[in-house]
Structure 1
Amino acid sequence: MGQLSQKTTMLLRWAKMLGGGTAVAVEQGRGRVCVPGELRGYWNDLTGKVSPDTLLDGGGVPLSVIAGGERVHFPIAIFQYALGCNDLYLIDGGREHLDALGACASWAVAAQHPDGSWDAFGPIGSAKYTVSSMAQAEGASMLLRAARLLDEPSYEERAKAAVDFMLIPIAEGGCSVHMDGQLFLEEYPQVPRRSVMNGWVFSLFGLYDMSLADCSYVEDFECSTRSLAAHLGDYDAGFWSYYDLERRMASPAYHKLHIAQMEELAAITGMKEFSAFSERLSRYQNSGLNRARAIVRKVGQKLTEKSDAVIVQ
């Protein structure tokens, strides 16, 4: 698909996101049944990813539609759907949610490479990226919960392999940057680091979950949370939040996600830096002028940036 067609598809998708007309960017507040210190509910509310409109294959695993109409298995979408099912099962005890979690966990194990990685972006047509810290972490979070609810201890080993791969430096094919005593977790591994904010936090959630299952990961989690806390100013545009270090504006949906993620990190870690940043972003969001300014800049960026891969549904 040419860049013009991709651009048109992407803008139509983004317009739907602004109007709440797509499940790709449903609102994700704080987790509904999560408890700090426990492998129970997930840290963001992903239950909106589970709906009668979710496309599923014959085995009950979600499918994503990319530009051009092809239906593919996109690991991040599958893991988020499964985490939403986990929470719905904890909320209402519905067997269908537990079965869906099991189907996604089985798919994850079969799709995981021997080194613990998943090809996160190849299925959606990316020529630039393959692995992702966000995919590794969300896959681990899902497998750790499935291991307990489904009594499948082997899933915990698969989760450990996923996190171990995430912590490998980008220069060695992994998803992290180790620099000056800091640990950056990269949703889109590249040099120089892009450090997408929401992806880093989702990666931290997976690392936290692994630390609850195995205390040998506590040091890595604490190092990366301190690193993020020290760099929160990089994501502050003065009136809105940035999506990444390349200074892309966060969409309204991602800005709200940033707020929820900061609140949850504050609850997990007790670090005041995260609660203070959440409060600042909330003040930005309460200004209609700030919101309009952010949307105008976001649309301008979308019109000029080159699309590598586009998910339609």
Structure 2
Amino acid sequence: MVDKLSTIRYEFNGVKHPLADGKAAGMTQGLAISFLLRCGHWQLVDIKLITPNIQKALSFMLSDSIVSQKWGYKFIEEFYVPGTSILNGSIFTLYGLYDYCRESNDMNLFKIYIDDLKALLPRYRLLYWSYYDLGGTVASCFYHRLHIDMMEVLYKLTDDKIFLEYAQRWKKGLHYSCVFILIKAFQKCLNLKKMDMSFASKVC
């Protein structure tokens, strides 16, 4: 069972879904790493016995099966469907990477992926709201609030003010949530891939 955690792929038998053909699950690798490390710390299992599985999960999570290149930056995909690049899923993987690097007392690997995330964050900005993915899907209220929480957590983990700035900016958007809900509804109804508000983004 522990070994299966380290190379998880999504399977949806008899269901038409982008993940139905066994796509790699980056978010699940990160969560599995955090879970296994906590099991070791809480002495539920011998940490020495699960270390190979943690290493296997890390290697898989950072492999070409899961990591994509976006404008020259590395992005750990929640699931590998090229062009999707879901923000919250990638950050969940980074939590697992943070736990691993902290355990190994070497944060360099975490810093590499955090720096690349920082470079990509402007592409997730829609005025004072957020995009769910790099495909231009406007975030729902649930995911927008999750993005805010995640920015605050990353600020606490890194002490990098850029994450705090994004959290504060996106919090302002909550005051106008009805506007962005309408934008999302408009996008869904017209099946638009991306709302073109680049001019307004520069102004704001």
TM-score range, shorter chain: 0.7 to 0.9
Deviation at 1:213, TM superposition (A): 1.2
Q: Does 1:203 align with 2:59?
A: no
Closer, same or farther in 2 for the Cα pair 1:256/1:224, shift >3 Å? same
Distance (Å, rounded) in 1 between the aligned partners of 2:85 and 2:104: 26
Q: After alignment, is 218-227 or 179-188 more displaced?
A: 179-188
Distance (Å, rounded) in 1 between the aligned partners of 2:145 and 2:78: 19
Q: Does 1:219 align with 2:108?
A: yes
Closer, same or farther in 2 for the Cα pair 1:129/1:288, shift >3 Å? same
Q: Does 1:231 align with 2:153?
A: no
Q: 1:164 — aligned with what?
A: 59
Count of residue correspondences: 187
Distance (Å, rounded) in 1 between the aligned partners of 2:72 and 2:105: 20
How does 1:1-313 map onto structure 2 within 5 Å? Answer: 107=1, 109-112=2-5, 116-119=6-9, 121-123=10-12, 125=15, 126-128=19-21, 130-149=23-42, 150-153=44-47, 154-169=49-64, 174-177=65-68, 182-191=73-82, 193-216=83-106, 218-297=107-186, 299-300=188-189
Q: Between the two structures, name the one with larger relative contact order (CA 8 Å, sep ≥ 6).
A: 1
* Cα contact 2:140–2:181 (8 A) shared by 1: no
TM-score, structure 2 as length reference: 0.81
Equivalent AA in structure 1 for residue 73 of structure 2: Q
Distance (Å, rounded) in 1 between the aligned partners of 2:182 and 2:71: 36
Deviation at 1:160, TM superposition (A): 2.1
Distance (Å, rounded) in 1 between the aligned partners of 2:38 and 2:56: 15
Deviation at 1:132, TM superposition (A): 1.5
Deviation at 1:269, TM superposition (A): 0.5
Distance (Å, rounded) in 1 between the aligned partners of 2:32 and 2:108: 21
TM-score, structure 1 as length reference: 0.54
Deviation at 1:282, TM superposition (A): 0.6
* Cα contact 1:284–1:290 (8 A) shared by 2: no
Distance (Å, rounded) in 2 between the aligned partners of 1:237 and 1:181: 22
Secondary structure at 2:130 match in 1: coil
Deviation at 1:182, TM superposition (A): 3.3
Percent sequence identity is 27
Structure 1 unaligned blocks of 5 or more: 1-106, 306-313
Q: 2:196 — aligned with what?
A: none
